[in-house]
A = this chain, B = another copy of it.
Amino acid sequence: MKKAIEQLTEEQLIEVKRQMNIYNQGVQEIIPTEELELKVAKSVLEKRPLKIKLGLDPSAPDVHLGHTVVLKKIKQFQDNGHIIQLLIGDFTGKIGDPTGKSVARKQLTDDEVKYNAKTYFEQFGKIVDMEKVELHYNSKWLAKLNFEDVIQLAGKITVARLMERDDFEERIALGKPISLHEFFYPLMQGYDSVVLESDIELGGTDQHFNILMGRHFQEKFGKEKQIAMLMPLLEGLDGVEKMSKSKKNYIGIDESPQEMYGKAMSIPDELMNKYLELITDLTPEQIDFLKEDLELGKLHPRDAKMLLAKTIVRMYHGLEDAEKAEQHFISVFQKGTVPDEIPVIEWQGANEMPVINLLVELKLLSSKSEARRMIKNNGVKLNGNRVEDTDLQVAISDGLIVQVGKRKFVKIKK
C-alpha cells in the first residue's frame, strides 16, 4: 500500500492532506494512525470511495447529542464522497439475552426492529444524507450461520484475547459471572466487518475492543484490515456519565426547541468547549475565537452558553425556533416569570389535599418520597411561592400554578 502515496500527483497529495486534516478533527484515537492515510491515498489514486461502517443498536433508537459526535464525522466522510455503511445489529436484538438476566436486552420482534431502524433514520436525516447511505441488517448473514460455521469462527480467536475486554476483565476480577454467549457479541461485530469489507469503523472510545475485533477477523479471513476511528465520549448534563437515555442526562435531537435550549443551558461550564467542538457545526476557527473571548473576559460564560444552546437548537429546528427558544428562556428563567404557555390540567379531584399527594396526582413527580425530597430541596412553588413544609395542606383553586424545578409548570382548571 505504501506505493499508493508515492504514485500520487502533487494535486492528489494535496487532496489526501486536505481530507486527513478533516478526519483528524476531534478524533480521540485512530488505530493504526499511519494506515488511515494510506487508505485515503489509495482511495484518491484509484478514485474508489472508502467504506465507513457505523454499527447501531436497534433497541434504543432515540438519537441524542452523544450520537451526533460520530454522525458529524460520518457527514465529513460522506461530503468527501465515501460510502457510509449503517449496520443495524438486528440479529443481536432479535436474540435477546438467553440468561434472561438483562432487562435491557429483551428480545425484539421483526416489527420492532424495523420501527426502531426507521426512527433512527428519520433522526439521522437531520445530520447526514440518508439517500447516500447503505443500510445493512446483520441478521442477513448471521442468522444463516450454522453450528459448524460458528465453530469455525470461534476457532479464529482465543479465550485470552476476549478476556482482555475491559468489562470482562473487571467482572473476572470481581468474580462476577460472564455467560459464554456474551463472548459472541464482539465476534459478531467483527464478522460484520468481514462481510461488509469495511475500510473504517467508527465508534466511541468504549467501542475500542469491539472495533478491533473487526481488524482481527478481517485478517483471519484474508481481507484488508479496517481502521478503528474512535471518537471521544460526550459526558451528559450531569457532567460525569456518558450521555445516554438510560442515565437521563441527554439532549435528544427530536426534543422541542424550548426543552433543548433549557437543557443545553444546564451543560456544566467545564464541558462547554467539548460540546462546542464535538456537537456543533461551528468551524474550528469560530470555536477558537469564542474560547479566546472567554479567556480574555470579553464574553461572559453565561452568554457563551446561550450561544451554544442557540446553536444546538438552530441545528435541529432552524434559526427562527432557536431565537424563540432563547426569548422563552430569557423571560422564564432569567427574569424569573412564569412562561406564557403552561399546560392546563382539568381538575376533578378533591378540593384540598397534602402537597406531596398533589404533586404525584399531577404527575409532576413520580412518588411521594420524590415529592418530599423536592420540597426539601426548595424545588416546589405554588403560585410562585416556595413550599417549605412537606406536610402542607393545599386548597386547590381554579388557576393555581404548580411549579417543580425550573421548568415544569402546570395550571389547574376547575
A contact set with B: CB distance below 8 Å: 91, 94-95, 97-99, 142-160, 162-163, 172, 177-184, 187
Contact = CB atoms under 8 A, between A and B. Distances in A.
Contact of A155 (B150, B154, B155, B181): B181
Nearest to A146: B146
B147 A98 contact: no
B177 A154 contact: no
A134 to B, nearest CB: 23
Best-surrounded residue of A144, A151, A157, A177 (most CB of chain B within 10 A): A151
Copies, count: 2
11 contacts: A94-B148, A95-B148, A95-B151, A98-B153, A98-B154, A144-B146, A154-B184, A158-B178, A159-B159, A159-B182, A160-B172
A154 B142 contact: no
B179 A180 contact: no
Contacts of A148: 91, 94-95, 143
Given A151-B98, A151-B184, A158 B146 contact: no
Contacts of A99: 155-156
Contacts of A142: 147
Nearest to A162: B180
Most buried by B among A91, A149, A150: A150
A156 B95 CA distance: 14
A179 B155 contact: yes
Given A143-B148, A145-B147, A147-B150, A97 B155 contact: yes
Contact of A151 (B149, B157, B181): B181
Given A95-B151, A98-B151, A157 B183 contact: no
Contact of A146 (B147, B157, B162, B182): B147
A95 B154 CA distance: 12
Given A143-B147, A146-B146, A98 B179 contact: no
Contacts of A184: 150-151, 154
Shortest Cβ-Cβ A-B pairs, 5 listed: A98-B155, A154-B181, A154-B180, A155-B181, A145-B147
A151 B145 CA distance: 11
B146 A145 contact: yes
Contacts of A94: 148
A40 to B, nearest CB: 34
Nearest to A155: B98
A90 to B, nearest CB: 12
A181 B148 CA distance: 10
B177 A158 contact: yes
